[in-house]
Amino acid sequence: MSRSGRNPDRRVKTAKKRSESSTRWLQRQLNDPYVKQAKADGYRSRAAYKLIELDDRFGLIRRARRVVDLGIAPGGWSQVVRARSPKAEVVGIDLLPTEAIEGVTIFEMDFMDDAAPARLEEALGGLPDLVLSDMAANTVGHKQTDHLRTMALVEAGAWFATETLEEGGAFVAKVLAGGTDTELLGLLKKHFKSVKHAKPPASRKGSSEWYVVAQGFKGRG
């Protein structure tokens, strides 16, 4: 993304009812070129560019026919899939309500619900060949606890992928602290031909988030 012509950093005054952390977050948003570009391009979040950059590197979307977006809200990743593979069937699922996206079926439910896999497969018209997850657990402010909660969510997403993916499919998920836990890494290497880590440029430099990209699902045989 071109950053030429970027305005000097805008400073935000701390309002009486706004905490210092909220003020810092708002200042980052106002000065973030990806936030500005998302608004210009019609994407619901700056996270859309993370998937765009991962797709440019790994070729995830172009051949995808049936895609599941775990934790779809607010919908930026599904928007990217629709833009890059207009003929693909896309289904999103989230506990949070998500505004409708043209060409995307959205379920407001827990992806770990026993009924979820069958409903997603029915909506897709078959097994998915790409499962995406940009999920992170709600933070409590304790670094180790937040990490464990998010990694547990990632592992649940990985199990979902191995139980639903079509042979040859791919799984992409956000992870923290630069890598996956040993157990999760073992699970992915067992079921996928290629497992790599990547930090797309759209991820903030100070963020601990990375992405794990598992491709070539070996099947359940």
Q: What is the pLDDT of residues 133-166, one digit of tens each?
A: 998 777 667 777 777 887 889 999 999 999 999 9
| Of 126, 96, 130, the residue nearest 111 (C-alpha) | 96
Q: Which domains does the chain have, with CATH numbers?
A: 48-217 (3.40.50.150)
> Does residue 199 have an active-site annotation?
no
> Rounded to an integer, what distance in angstroms lies between the CA atom of residue 217 and that of residue 84?
22
Active-site hit among 17, 39, 174, 218: 174
Give the whole-angstrom CA distance, residue 207 versus residue 200. 11
- 3-class secondary structure, 176: strand
User: Which residue has tokens 């995808």?
Assistant: 64
Which tens digit of pLDDT belongs to each residue from 93-122? 999 999 999 999 999 999 999 999 999 999
Q: Tally Cβ neighbours within 10 Å of residue 9.
A: 10
Query: CA–CA separation, 85 vs 32, rounded Å?
Result: 27
Per-residue pLDDT at 35: 83
Q: Which parts of the chain register pLDDT below 70?
A: 1-32, 139-140, 177-180, 221
